[in-house]
Amino acid sequence: MDNETVMKKDKIDELSGILRRSLMIAAKNPKLLLFTLLTSFPLFFCILVFEFLFHQTLLSSVDTLLSDEAPGLTFCHGNICSVPIPSYWRWDGSFESMMTMITEHCSRFVLLGFVYMILVHPLDLLNTILIICHSSALYAERPL
């Protein structure tokens, strides 16, 4: 038990040392913060575009599913009736609402996958590589 406590304390001390050194790098050269901010803008805007597309796709998908309501079906319990039951909640032997969903929203889901896999991931990797490269050069006091 005592050995585990000592090992945990050593790991915490090591982590605090790493954080202290990283703050010293930023304090020694404020240009690194400006560089980090400028290299993060493309990633930020790509993530922003992805989130807008994602939320629009989700909202339009829900609208498509909820617009296919059967007018005569309502959920009643006792003498209290609530909103009509959408037709995709009941089994009528057809996949019309699913096919409508696929045909209307397939291109949007493909676009979401394209934006996420082709734009966001490589920009995130490039941003990380650039920041680590410049930080390590500053820490080793090498020229950039």
* Residue-by-residue DSSP string for 26-91: HHH-THHHHHHHHHHHHHHHHHHHHHHHHHHHHHHHHHHHHT-EEEEEEEEETTEEEEEEEGGGS-
pLDDT, tens only, 45-57:
999 989 998 988 8
Q: In this structure, what token pair is assigned to residue 55? A: 């939320």
In DSSP terms, 84 is beta-bridged to: 74
Q: Is the pTM of this model over 0.75?
A: no
pLDDT at 129 over 90: yes
pLDDT of residue 17: 83
> What's the whole-number average pLDDT of the chain?
76
Q: In this structure, what token pair is assigned to residue 141? A: 């006091």
Where along the chain do its domains lie? Answer: 30-139
Neighbours of 22 (CB within 10 A): 12
pLDDT of residue 125: 93
What integer is the mean pLDDT of 112-133? 90
